[in-house]
């Protein structure tokens, strides 16, 4: 659905991916939007394995702020800031917009790429580009590039579903088990494990593991592959 900015892929083996390469909402009323440009969710063998954080409530609370934040989604956070300025329960000021989004697909998979300017308001005017490639043989490749006029700290997060368990962590490689089997995440940087909240429905909170990848500099390249 290019006009809305949503792109997806469904395989016959129960794999399903949906990615958000669109605006956070209509410019005249973006209050329900989150700071989630380039975030995605993934299911394997019919089981959810990569998820966003959901929505806990609509109150002006710390939980509401977290659910809307970039850190709560599977995308890149720069210098601890959100892609757009959020306050209250539904307020949005300066926000990012996607540009140059391209989508190619065939019977074996797809390639999705684009850039957004949500961090251009920060010192150094960082620009984030993300490319995603999927095929059944190699799995999902996510490649992020951030270029800035001054050094920045970039954090890419991969929030796992609560049913997932990290069973092995070796530097830049993580093995994850879930009810439908297992998959491995291989990165170009060391991986850290955090615990983050997941809200499958209003006023319900579960805990789940989150994989964290970090890079610093004027030109930052973060990359990971999910191998099935």
**Which two three-digit tokens encode residue 95?**
């926000």
Angle at 100 between CA 114 and CA 19, to 5 degrees: 35
- Tell me the average pLDDT across 97-104: 91
Domain boundaries, the chain: 6-227
For the domain with range 6-227, which CATH number is right: 1.10.10.10, 2.70.98.70, 1.10.8.80, 3.30.2320.80?
2.70.98.70
pLDDT digits (tens, 9 = 90+) for 111-128: 999 999 989 999 999 999
Is 54 within 8 Å of 198 (Cβ atoms)?
Answer: yes
Residue 62 and residue 67: Cα distance in Å, rounded? 9
Evaluate whether 116 touches 193 at the Cβ level (below 8 Å).
no
Q: What are phi and psi of 22, to 5 degrees?
A: -115, 180
Are the C-beta atoms of 64 and 75 separated by less than 8 Å?
A: no
Q: Is the pTM of this model over 0.85?
A: yes
Residue predicted with more confidence, 175 or 171: 175
Count of beta carbons in the 10 Å neighbourhood of residue 47: 16
- DSSP element (H, E) containing 158: strand 139-159
For the chain, percent of residues with pLDDT exceeding 90: 64
| Angular region, 140: left φ>0, alpha ψ -120 to 50, beta rest | beta
pLDDT > 80? residue 24: no
pLDDT tier for residue 223 given thresholds of 50, 70 and 90? very high
pLDDT in tens, 29-88: 665 666 789 999 999 999 999 999 988 888 888 888 888 899 999 999 999 988 877 766
Residue 190 Ramachandran class (φ > 0 left, ψ -120 to 50 alpha, else beta): beta
Quickly list H helices, the chain: 62-68
CA within 13 Å, CB half, 28: 0
């Amino acid at each position: 659905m290019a006009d809305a900015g949503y792109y997806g892929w469904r395989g016959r083996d129960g794999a399903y991916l949906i990615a958000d390469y669109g605006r956070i909402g209509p410019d005249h009323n973006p209050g329900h939007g989150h700071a989630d440009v380039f975030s995605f969710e993934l299911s394997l063998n019919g089981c959810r394995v990569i998820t966003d954080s959901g929505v806990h409530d609509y109150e002006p609370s710390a939980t509401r702020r977290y659910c809307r934040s970039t850190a709560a989604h599977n995308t890149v956070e720069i210098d601890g800031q959100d892609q757009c300025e959020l306050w209250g329960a539904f307020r949005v000021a300066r926000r990012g917009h996607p540009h140059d989004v391209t989508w190619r697909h065939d019977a074996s998979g797809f390639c999705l790429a684009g850039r957004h300017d949500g961090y251009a308001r920060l010192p150094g005017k960082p620009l984030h580009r993300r490319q995603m490639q999927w095929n059944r043989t190699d799995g999902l490749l996510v490649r992020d590039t951030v270029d800035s006029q001054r050094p920045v700290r970039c954090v890419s997060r991969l929030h796992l579903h609560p049913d997932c368990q990290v069973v092995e962590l070796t530097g830049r490689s993580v093995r994850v088990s879930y009810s439908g089997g297992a998959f491995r995440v291989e990165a170009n940087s060391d991986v850290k494990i955090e615990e983050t909240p997941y809200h499958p429905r209003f006023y319900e909170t579960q805990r789940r593991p989150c994989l964290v990848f970090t890079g610093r500099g004027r030109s930052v390249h973060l990359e990971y592959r999910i191998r099935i």
